[in-house]
Amino acid sequence: MEGPTAGRGSAGRHRVVEGESNVSCGPLFAGGVDDAAVWSEAPFFLAGHTTLYSAASGSLFLFGGYDGSKRTNDLYVLRNAKSLAAEGAESAELVWEKATLEGVRDRAGHGFFMKDEKLYIHAGYDSQHNVLHDLVEVDVSSDGFSTRTMEYKSVLPNLERRWHCNFLHDDRYFVHGGWNDSGGLADLIYLDLNTQKWAAPKFKGTVPSFRRWHTMTQLSNTNGRYFLFGGYNGGKMPLGDAFLLNIVDDKQLVLLGGYKESDNAIYKEIAVLHTGVGACGWSNAVRSGHSATLIEGEGILVCGGWKPDYIQPAYWIDLRMTYA
């Protein structure tokens, strides 16, 4: 990450890392809030959209979202996204391509992942407020972005959902939480992409309460550990608890905090995870709709969100202090 310098379009930009699969989407700013300069103005106004970065092609893909009047089924592609990490990138012209995916339901609050250089869009909700459960494959190697709806071999209750967390681990697409017409969801389910069958794994430890608008951040590319933080469950305040999910060992560990439904209280207690590992300090960082980004495998930067007002301060969670 380079430090900020003076001038429009010159500065502290996010470095696109080889192998990175999920990145946040928004305008790129120079300097602090007061002297911010927009690097690249994207040709859209959206919320509830999703983005993916392909290290193989160096492209950033953006799908769906709410444009102020409706949900969309538009796919935007930034072909030269990798150039943001190059020297002299401040002079690069960022060109967005737009394609409307015919036959694909418009949506926001959906899942989005990439496998074998194909995009997959899961669930969300459309402009008629229908909560969806479909899985759509988009072949980005074709000129016209060909699409097909994947047929499930088995399903589970409450498969339809929006504002859920999702991640891809090996050949399993995991989904946690979200919301549908039955209310808030707390389940962790996965789709085996080889068999197209849904399953609900059993994990040891405390299960996070129902929530949406939370984040789940992969702690490395190989170890199967995921950090779940925050979100919203319909109460007066967002949540401030955090959990560590270990896919390999089938464990869920409560890192800190917790939610007590009886009195709608959010706890900030310190949790000791292992003998010999120090306690994890915490601050008043409850929020939903935030972003959580792994930095160099050593910590997570939590930015933005809602509490119930928009939050400006960012918080650093030092993973060297929370997990051995």
Q: What is the dihedral of CA 97, 100, 102, 104, to 10 degrees?
A: 110
Where do the structural domains in the chain lie, given as residue ranges?
A: 44-201, 202-323
pLDDT above 80: residue 155: yes
The CATH number of domain 44-201 is 2.120.10.80: yes
| pLDDT one-digit tens code per residue, 265-317 | 333 332 322 222 222 333 445 666 666 656 556 566 665 555 655 555 556 56
Q: What are phi and psi of 132, to 5 degrees?
A: -105, 160
pLDDT of 232: 85
Cα gap 172→206, rounded to integer Å: 22
Q: Among 192-196, 210-214, 291-295, whose mean pLDDT is lowest?
A: 291-295
What integer is the mean pLDDT of 104-127?
A: 94
The SS3 assignment for 321 reads: helix
Of 186 and 7, more confident: 186
Cα gap 277→322, rounded to integer Å: 7
The whole model's pTM is what?
Answer: 0.71
